[in-house]
Amino acid sequence: MDDFQIVHIPEMLIVGIETKIKGDKEQLYKNVESLWSRFFREGVMNKIPNQKDNEILNIYSEYKKDNPVPQNCIMGKRVEFIDKKLPKGVMSIEIPAGKYMKFTAKGALPNCVREMWEFIHELEPEFSYAPSFEIYGPKTADPDNAEIDIYVAVK
């Protein structure tokens, strides 16, 4: 596993779709896979106004102190600003500026991401319980040899 960096991330505005997570890690994985399918099946990328770049973010939020599994998962894109009236079926979230541990998962999707999250939880970082997220950019074009940056909010 690669080492991590401590980075400061500016506030980000995200527009996308979400799903609630009820259960354990296996349920989380199923929900994330379902969200990916829905994101492309419903053409969500084309519905998001004011896109900032071509990257897709998978955001985990609503953590509980006694459970490392997030209660909410959002898949979306960074935007310059959030329209007052969003298209039907999409929502927005603000990721606050803050301190993050940055990891890079490398390998075949989705296994390399799952393995990196296992590694992260073994480190037992002092989570801040702000949203954590994965960024899927140009280096994910080959799903058998991908690189995904993972940002974990810490105190």
Strand-strand pairing, 132-136 and 98-107: unpaired
Q: What is the pLDDT of residue 132?
A: 92
pLDDT digits (tens, 9 = 90+) for 81-122: 998 899 999 999 999 999 999 999 999 999 999 999 889 888
Pair 130, 49: CB distance under 8 Å: no
Structural domains of the chain, with CATH: 5-153 (3.20.80.10)
- The C-alpha atoms of residue 53 and residue 78 are separated, in whole angstroms, by 7
What pTM was estimated for this model as a whole? 0.90
H or E stretch at 92: strand 91-95
